[in-house]
Amino acid sequence: MAKHKFAEHALSPWMKKDGPENDVVLSSRIRIARNMRNYPFPLLATADQSQNTMEQLLSIAESGRLNGLGEPAAYRLSELTELEKLVLVEKHLISPALAGESRNGALILGRNEDISIMINEEDHLRIQCLYPGFQIREAWEFASKIDDIFEESVDYAFDEKYGYLTSCPTNVGTGIRASVMMHLPALVLTGQINRILSAVTQVGLAVRGLYGEGSEATGNLFQVSNQITLGQSESEIIDNLHAVARQIIGHEQAARERLLKESRTRVEDRVRRSYGILSYASIMDSKEASQRLSDVRLGVHLGLLPEVNRDVLNELIVLTQPGFLQQQSGEALTPEQRDIARARIIRSRLASQA
């Protein structure tokens, strides 16, 4: 089977662009949940009903109405291998639920992979837009344009009192989930992270790991998103997240300056040790790889490892995940084989930039 374009490279084209505050914020994301009126929600739909929903929504992309926003390609999940679906999860282009549990699921994927539209996940339609760095408002504007195109073609499930209706009550209202992926190593090293994250949750925001709800915050990567979708307007949700994220960025940058001023030698030793281990290790599990890549990323942004390319670090976040390791190897791998392959790929990518 020919390899799909999304599986050829770990780094999505949108990730190669610079974004504001990219020393702290890796990406900004907007996800909009929508359902079609007069159709059962995916969890209750029959096979025929979900098939009809899928074909109707795919027809909008295939008609060319989305071409001006990224020339998307359509994929039916039934036509993809389990490994290809895992790669899509690791690149944050589909959810684990769509990959593993969806019936008649499909994906509409933009050419730059900054648009990812899931069909028949928990809701009939989940529109996702990804931007590099701290650009949550820009991501919202883009996602809203896509939402308008679909709303011109299908009748959304909407209630005058409650807003857009969704499978999960926590999404009812605007149906918007806005989030920023943040790298916060200095707040962790200075022991401030728990205080900061506790304050974040008290203002209606949630903090999760790299892969969203239920995932662990490995590699000092934290996803900060809104929890409230009902009772606030779209602009209020975006503005609240933007303001809180801006404060977290300031705290992280101040903590980095403090580390350089008060503990420069110790920090430099830490990041160079991690760089050395990554450069020469023969076996490495995913948790250690995430932590050591976090150390190196911190070193790059502190100016302690100027020889390391940031794009290589972004690429390695995805390349070292189980799906991509097996995709690159062309076969299923045991956990130990994955740990060996992970170390080999890291050594190779770090050496290739020399």
Annotated binding site: 27-31, 92, 126, 177-181, 208-213
- Alpha helix segments (H runs only) across 44-127: 47-62, 82-90, 96-100
Distances, alpha carbon 93 to alpha carbons 6, 11, 54, 109, 252, in Å: 9, 12, 18, 8, 28
Q: Which of 269, 293, 294, 297 shows the shortest CA–CA distance to 281?
A: 293
Q: Residue 264's CB: how many other CB atoms inside 10 A?
A: 12
Region for residue 275 given its phi and psi (left: phi exceeds 0; alpha: psi -120 to 50; beta: otherwise):
alpha
Distance of CA 127 to the CA centre of its chain: 13
Binding site for ATP: residue ranges? 27-31, 92, 126, 177-181, 208-213
Distance of CA 242 to the CA centre of its chain: 17
Distances, alpha carbon 273 to alpha carbons 23, 48, 261, 304, in Å: 21, 57, 20, 12
Q: Are 164 and 156 in contact (CB under 8 A)?
A: yes
